[in-house]
Amino acid sequence: MTQTQFANVSLIRHPLIQHKLTIMRKVETSTHKFRGLLQEISMLLAYEVTRDMPLSTVAIRTPVAQMNAPMLEGKKIVLVSILRAGQGIVDGMLRILPSARVGHIGLYREPKTHVVVEYYFKVPRDISERDVLLVDPMLATGNSAVAAVHRLKQTNPRSIKFVCLLAAPEGIRQMQEEHPDVPIFTAAVDEHLDEHGYIVPGLGDAGDRLFGTK
């Protein structure tokens, strides 16, 4: 994991992630393959972003001897998916964080104005005792991420990290302006947004590619 020129943005450069991301970007990659790769990358992202989870020591007995062994303390994570493409990341992360709780935020971008509208919000009741990993494959304009974080902050979680696959500089700047306290983790920072708000070179519409809706 390396810091970028943007404060508070960590680039996850693991070779497996970079390789899988390249295949996801290719226009000819099928929905089936795209979905599987997103799950695999999400497991690796979860591995990286949970590096700072606190451990405590418990006394256990192995078949051979007693020992004091490390275990995660509390394990109070909630994965919050920005619908709908965030769901692809949640599905992967749950494979290595099987006890995590899951929340959902439904937002859509008005195609012309790119203004964000919330249509669904459900998170665990005890979220104030939990650390949130807020996930969306694409940090594009930043409007959805910013709105999702605003909404989440109203529920007072212990902490929030934003995790994506691809980020555009425009989205990063927007997040940093509105939520400088929320660290961003991404597998790549691309060049810019096009006039439709798509990340260039990007991978297209993550939701359409994940669910095969185009």
Catalytic residue list: 109, 113, 205, 208
Using CA atoms, how far apart are residues 131 and 137, in angstroms rounded to an integer? 19
Tell the smallest beta-carbon distance from residue 130 to ligand URA (Å): 27
Q: Which of residues 74-93 bind ligand URA (CB under 6 A)?
A: 85
Measured from the CB atom, the residue of 103 and 137 that comes closer to ligand URA is: 137
Q: Nearest-CA neighbor of 87 among 150, 132, 137, 44? A: 137
Is the distance from CB of 207 to CB of 108 less than 8 angstroms?
Answer: no
Contacting range for ligand URA; rule: CB under 6 A; set: 67-75, 98-106, 119-127, 191-199 = 191-199
Using CA atoms, how far apart are residues 86 and 28, in angstroms rounded to an integer? 22
Total binding residues toward ligand URA, as defined by CB under 6 A: 10
The 10 Å Cβ neighbour count of residue 6 is 17
Cα 67 → chain centroid? 36
Q: Which residue type occupies 96?
A: I
Q: Which of residues 121-140 bind ligand URA (CB under 6 A)?
A: 138, 140
Q: Which two tokens stand for residue 201?
A: 């070179």
Tell the smallest beta-carbon distance from residue 41 to ligand URA (Å): 15
Cis status, amide bond into 84, omega within 30 of 0 = yes
Q: Which of residues 140-159 bind ligand URA (CB under 6 A)?
A: 140
Q: Binding of ligand URA at residue 198 (CB under 6 A)?
A: yes
Q: Binding of ligand URA at residue 202 (CB under 6 A)?
A: yes
Q: Nearest-CA neighbor of 202 among 26, 17, 11, 42? A: 26
Measured from the CB atom, the residue of 50 and 87 that comes closer to ligand URA is: 87
Tell the smallest beta-carbon distance from residue 9 to ligand URA (Å): 17
Measured from the CB atom, the residue of 157 and 207 that comes closer to ligand URA is: 207
Q: Binding residues for ligand URA, per CB under 6 A?
A: 85, 138, 140, 197-199, 202, 205-207
